[in-house]
């Protein structure tokens, strides 16, 4: 028993099975409370579902508001195409199509435990790897998202974890094929969730600086990876240019997202200001103007509002920061007011994991600094240092996700769904913090006292 329990706890297969089981159980519990007719319609009443409907009907990537409004670049193409495939296989707006999409989301979400396990094992041993994977397996937001959102959220979380794992492995590889596959992985990520691209320059630069081989060869391999990632996006970019006669690399909806978090609703002194934003009103405006003119109008409105309200913008940024990391702008108030244990668990786990991620980054930075001091090298990466150099610099590729990725949402608008793609990395950082706290406690009190 003494040998079997640790073996089971550190079993990746068991973690993945439990992760899938917990998510399936949650989906089953929620689905039995909703009529099948509702499940087949309501979850698809958003942009991904509307575009997938147009694709399934042979109308192309269009009609973002389920109206005859023509081509759209509102979303990246990968996930709407997946939903459209489910419509083709299981029927348009059917409960079967919904469960097929949820099953895909559960598969994506559960699979994210695999790269987490191996990255954690590389950083702190099997204990950290298993701890990170287990945290993700039962993470409330991770359990809920696959059912609640027919969106790229769960797939983006898997891709972010895969990219982190691939980046660490890539730094030890001199194979051109490995760097080419890395470029393909990034191409898939950008065509799924372009927001992940904000960490691409840092991760690719880290892999080059900490990689093996001659400096010139490393930069050439990086150029190959970046070129392949761009080539993966190029057909879609060309399609957008043909459809809209302007350069749209992947998505067009940034002006709308910026306006959504920066408009007169937030200014209590605004004259004739809006009291609310309704989907019907925005769909009507979009249909009248067309996507290009609509986005231009939203961009101008948002920029004008931000320029005219610098003090308010600072406060709004603080509110968005809180909403991104905890799930709501007023977490304490919402925690006390809600009677849902699920919402309380999500709010609490989001806050605790965010604090854990912060401490995890501190642990990595201090470990990196101590290692550099012991080696007598504070001058950064040097050619040919291999695994030791890579180990010393592991703080960078992990920290870039919680430090850089959220910045876009601090400016536009935020909620817990937008944080979810980096939640696997947050779980890993929290596991590192817990492992360090345990090690300190053992050093202070002794293993028997604990």
Contact 381, 209 (CB under 8 A): yes
Which sign does the torsion angle of CA 44, 46, 47, 53 carry? positive
Residue-wise DSSP of 104-166:
HHHHHHHHTHHHHHHHHHHHH-HHHHHHHHHHHHH-HHHHHHHHH--SSHHHHHHHHHHHHHH
* Model pLDDT, residue 269: 77
Task: Report pLDDT for 449.
Answer: 52
Q: What is the spatial distance between Cα 120 and Cα 398, in angstroms, rounded to a whole number?
A: 11
Q: Which token pair is 155?
A: 């797939």
Q: Are 295 and 314 in contact (CB under 8 A)?
A: no
Distance CA 249, CA 234 (A): 8
pLDDT of 375 = 60
Could you tell me the pLDDT band of residue 347, with boundaries at 50, 70 and 90?
Answer: very high
Residue 379 reports pLDDT greater than 70: no
* Domain locations in the chain as residue ranges: 4-247+336-445
DSSP string of 335-402?
HHH---HHHHHHHHHHHHHHHHHHHHHHHHHHHHHHHHHHHT--S---TT-HHHHHHHTTHHHHHHHH
Confidence of residue 301 (pLDDT cuts 50, 70, 90): very high
The pLDDT-based confidence of 117 (bands split at 50, 70, 90) is: very high
Tell me if the pTM is above 0.85: yes
324: helix, strand or coil: helix
* Six token digits for residue 225: 């990876």
Which tens digit of pLDDT belongs to each residue from 84-96?
999 999 999 999 9
- Rounded mean pLDDT of 157-174? 93
Stated as kind and residue range, the H or E segment containing 297 is helix 291-308
**Contacting residues for 409 by C-beta, under 8 A, at least 6 apart:** 320, 324, 418, 419
Note the pLDDT of residue 390: 46
- Give the pLDDT confidence score for residue 387 in this predicted structure: 44
> 294: number of CA atoms within 13 Å, CB side?
22
pLDDT of 97: 96
Residues 380-408 have pLDDT tens digits of 444 434 444 444 578 889 999 999 999 99
Confidence of residue 273 (pLDDT cuts 50, 70, 90): low
Tens digit of each residue's pLDDT (9 = 90 or more) over 139-161: 999 999 999 999 999 999 999 99
Closest by CA to 229, choosing from 257, 249, 243, 246, is 249
71 pLDDT band, cuts 50/70/90, is very high
Largest Cα–Cα distance of the chain, in whole Å?
72
């Amino acid at each position: 028993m003494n040998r079997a329990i640790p073996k089971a706890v550190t079993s990746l297969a068991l973690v993945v099975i439990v992760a899938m089981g917990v998510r399936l159980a949650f989906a089953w519990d929620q689905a039995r409370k909703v009529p099948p007719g509702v499940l087949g319609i309501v979850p698809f009443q958003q942009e991904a579902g509307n575009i997938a409907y147009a694709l399934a009907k042979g109308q192309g990537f269009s009609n973002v508001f389920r109206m005859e409004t023509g081509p759209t670049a509102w979303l990246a193409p990968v996930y709407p195409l997946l939903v459209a495939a489910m419509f083709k296989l299981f029927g348009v707006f059917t409960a079967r199509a919904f469960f097929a999409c949820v099953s895909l989301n559960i598969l994506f979400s559960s699979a994210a435990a695999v790269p987490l396990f191996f990255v954690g094992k590389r950083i702190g041993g099997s204990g950290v790897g298993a701890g990170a994977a287990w945290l993700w397996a039962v993470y409330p937001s991770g359990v809920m998202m696959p059912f609640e959102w027919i969106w790229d959220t769960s797939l983006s979380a898997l891709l972010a974890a895969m990219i982190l794992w691939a980046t660490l492995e890539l730094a030890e590889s001199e194979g051109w094929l490995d760097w080419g596959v890395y470029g393909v992985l990034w191409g898939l990520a950008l065509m799924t969730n372009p927001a992940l691209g904000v960490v691409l320059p840092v991760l690719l630069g880290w892999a080059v600086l900490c990689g093996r081989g001659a400096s010139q060869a490393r930069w050439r391999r990086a150029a190959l990876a970046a070129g392949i990632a761009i080539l993966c996006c190029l057909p879609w970019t060309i399609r957008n240019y043909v459809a809209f006669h302007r350069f749209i690399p992947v998505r067009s909806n940034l002006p709308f997202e910026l306006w959504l978090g920066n408009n007169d609703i937030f200014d209590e002194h605004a004259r004739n200001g809006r009291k609310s934003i309704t989907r019907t009103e925005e769909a009507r405006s979009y249909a009248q103007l067309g996507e290009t003119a609509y986005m231009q109008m939203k961009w101008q409105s948002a920029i004008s509002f931000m320029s005219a309200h610098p003090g308010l913008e600072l406060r709004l940024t603080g509110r968005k920061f809180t909403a991104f990391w905890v799930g709501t702008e007023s977490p304490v108030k919402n925690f006390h007011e809600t009677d849902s244990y699920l919402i309380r668990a999500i709010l609490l786990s989001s806050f605790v994991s965010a604090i854990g991620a912060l401490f995890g980054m501190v642990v990595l930075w201090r470990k990196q600094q101590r290692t550099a001091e012991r080696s007598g090298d504070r001058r950064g990466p040097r050619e040919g240092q291999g695994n030791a150099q890579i180990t010393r610099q592991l703080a960078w590729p992990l920290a870039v996700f919680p430090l850089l990725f959220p910045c876009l949402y601090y400016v536009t608008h935020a909620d817990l769904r937008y944080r979810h793609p980096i939640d696997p990395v947050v779980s890993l950082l929290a596991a590192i913090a817990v492992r360090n706290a345990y090690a300190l406690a053992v050093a202070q009190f002794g293993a028997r006292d604990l």
